[in-house]
Amino acid sequence: MFEALFILTTIDTGTRVARFMIQDLVGTFIPAFRDTKSWTPNLIATAIAVSGWGYFLYQGVIDPLGGINTLWPLFGIANQMLAAIALCVGTGILIKSGKLKYAWITGVPLTWLVLVTSAAAWEKIFSEDKRIGFFAAANDMAAKLAAGALPPEKAAVAPQLIFNQHLDAWLTVFFVTVLWVIVLDMLRVSARSLSGRPVPPVSESPHIPSRLVEDYARD
């Protein structure tokens, strides 16, 4: 039950976030696409998001070694990268809101996640150990396939395994690139804000004290 809830919750949350990001991105060029109350952009963006993770789920299902070998390393990197991006956004908001003294609350875990995720991604991309590196595993299997060193049953599925390893590797490169673009842009905007130069305004809703707190204090 834990596994089912964990996977379903992650997919549900990821799909929602992806839909909002797709609508916001496309809305830059087509403003009407940002209207989250309209069914048409909602359905289109949702279909794109579901097609994206559905493709990788399909690739994992048809993987001869089982989906967990293909999807789990990529899921781990993407999951931690998403957390780092959320902390990055939170840190930027605190600094732009003039609350620099609280920025360490999100800045410390952000630094840890960025370092750990980047180091893990580096190992998965560039490690020469075929048990770790995506490219190393793909190259090792390609060499064995070319040399005819694989049994017939493994040779038949080798192209699919090689493709999946390359797919994971390049997606990891993309994920880490996106992460560092966001981190560096947050640092750039934060530096401009601290130096008094103009930055995009904060669009978050103002804090509204809870009436439960007020009632508790009064009682």
Nearest to residue 110, comparing CAs of 94, 132, 127? 94
Query: Under DSSP, is residue 155 helix (H, G, I), strand (E, B) or coil?
Result: helix
Is residue 219 predicted with pLDDT exceeding 60? no
- 93-125: burial string, b at 16+ Cβ within 10 Å, e else: bbbbeeeeeebeebbeebeebbeebbebbeebb
pLDDT tens-digit map of 98-139: 889 999 999 999 999 999 999 999 999 999 998 889 999 999
Whether the CB-CB separation of 48 and 22 falls below 8 Å is answered with: yes
Is residue 147 predicted with pLDDT exceeding 80? yes
Is residue 213 predicted with pLDDT exceeding 80? no
pLDDT tens-digit map of 43-95: 999 999 999 888 877 777 777 666 666 677 777 788 888 889 889 989 999 99
pLDDT tens-digit map of 190-212: 999 888 888 887 777 777 777 77
- 50-67: burial string, b at 16+ Cβ within 10 Å, e else: eeebeebeebbeebeeeb
Query: pTM value?
Result: 0.76
pLDDT recorded at residue 58 = 79
Other Cβ atoms closer than 10 A to 82: 18
pLDDT recorded at residue 67 = 61
Q: Please, which pLDDT band fits residue 176 given cuts at 50, 70 and 90?
A: very high
pLDDT recorded at residue 23 = 93
pLDDT recorded at residue 158 = 86
